[in-house]
Structure 1
Amino acid sequence: MSRSWVMPVIVAALAALGIATQGATITDLGPWYQGLEKPSWTPPGPVFPIAWTVIFALAAWAAVTAWRRAPNARQADWLIGMFALNGFLNILWSLLFFRMQRPDWAFAEVLLLWLSILALVVQCWRQSRLSGVLLLPYLAWVTAAAVLNWSVVELNGPFG
């Protein structure tokens, strides 16, 4: 790894770790969550941190790869902004679902999160096909999470 890769890798890893930590801190699997009726196909609890660890690692790799391949500073800055917005939306979902206990609002928000991931896939693909492919597990996971979120709304609503 050349020295020019070191700082972007460190920054991307710290950003991914920060977003993951914020999301984990906000996530409360206490009595309210345990009391929700969930569909039978809900993944077991230990799957979630494993999946998110892999997804954030792949997203950091995709971010660095696409950023390094950006044709100019403006495109690189735009890409960083897209990843920052996506991180914000990721944390916001946890806040809405777990802290505010509003799966209905979280479902509306997860649609925005999903669109931000799709936009990242498209933008990263333009810079590096590998970068776009690295984000596909994230898109698939959030697709499944959105369906699960909707199922929780259907099984437990109304909220608020």
Structure 2
Amino acid sequence: MSRRPLSAQILGLLAWLALAFTAAAVGAVASVEAGSFYRQLLRPAWAPPASAFGPVWTVLYLMMGVAAWLVWRERGAPRLGLALGVFVAQLTVNALWSWLFFVWHLGAWAFADALLLFGLIAMTMGLFWRVHRLAALLLLPYLAWVTFASALTWSVWLNNPALLL
């Protein structure tokens, strides 16, 4: 495998960060009224305050962008296109969750989306591991957070049948 020239690596890093934060922005658009909706919901005692989500997701999107960049810069790596394709797919599924939950109030679909997202992150990590191990490890906090968020989605959905379908 050969690495890309430094100028291409810098532009690549900026592009992968831009892609990750574009997914964040798509989710954020759906989350404009999330705070007030979240406060209406019956939540488990272990649910974090609404103010915790923004900082956590910011760090996770940063780590995602860096992870994708670490993989992308390894030209000629086996399954490079597949690894990055699955990464982009999980970003799309990630952005969809906010729309399902906060805009359309579809709890069952949001939970299904979270489970799909978990699977896609795990697949991305496996594919990244073959190319750049640090890239895969950078996604570990993301997988952990989505595991927690999946449990939270399940709990909130079940406890709010009048607000979430």
TM-score of the pair, normalised by structure 1: 0.91
CA positional deviation for 1:37: 0.2
- Quick one: distance in 1 between partners of 2:75 and 2:152? 35
Partner SS state of residue 37, structure 1: coil
C-alpha deviation, 1:130, in angstroms:
0.4
Match of 1:58 among 58, 63, 78: 63
1:39–1:152 contact (8 Å) kept in structure 2 = yes
**Aligned mates of 1:70, 1:82 — CA distance in 2:** 17
CA distance 1:133–1:80, shift in 2 (3 Å): same
Does residue 43 (structure 1) correspond to residue 48 (structure 2)? The answer is yes
Q: What SS does the aligned partner of 2:50 have?
A: coil
How much does 1:77 deviate?
Answer: 2.2
AA partner of residue 41 (structure 1) = W
Query: Unmatched 5+ residue regions in structure 1?
Result: none
Displacement of 1:128:
1.0
Q: Does 1:147 align with 2:147?
A: no
- How many angstroms does 1:70 deviate by? 5.0
Aligned position for 1:29: 34
Shift of 1:154: 1.9
**Structure 1 CA distance, aligned partners of 2:110 and 2:75?**
33
How big is the shift at 1:75?
2.6
* Aligned partners of 1:70 and 1:127 also within 8 Å: no
- Check whether the contact 2:35–2:50 (CA below 8 A) recurs between aligned residues: no
Partner of 2:10: 6
- Which AA in structure 2 matches 1:49? G
Q: Which residue of 1 aligns with 2:141?
A: 137
Partners of 1:57 and 1:100 lie apart in 2 by 27
Instruction: Kindly provide the CA deviation profile for residues 110-142 of structure 1, in whole angstroms up to 9, marking residues without a partner as x.
Output: 100110000011111111110110000000000
Query: Is the CA contact (8 Å cut-off) linking 2:90 and 2:117 kept in structure 1?
Result: yes
Aligned-pair CA distance for 1:81: 1.4
RMSD: 1.7
2:103 corresponds to which residue? 99
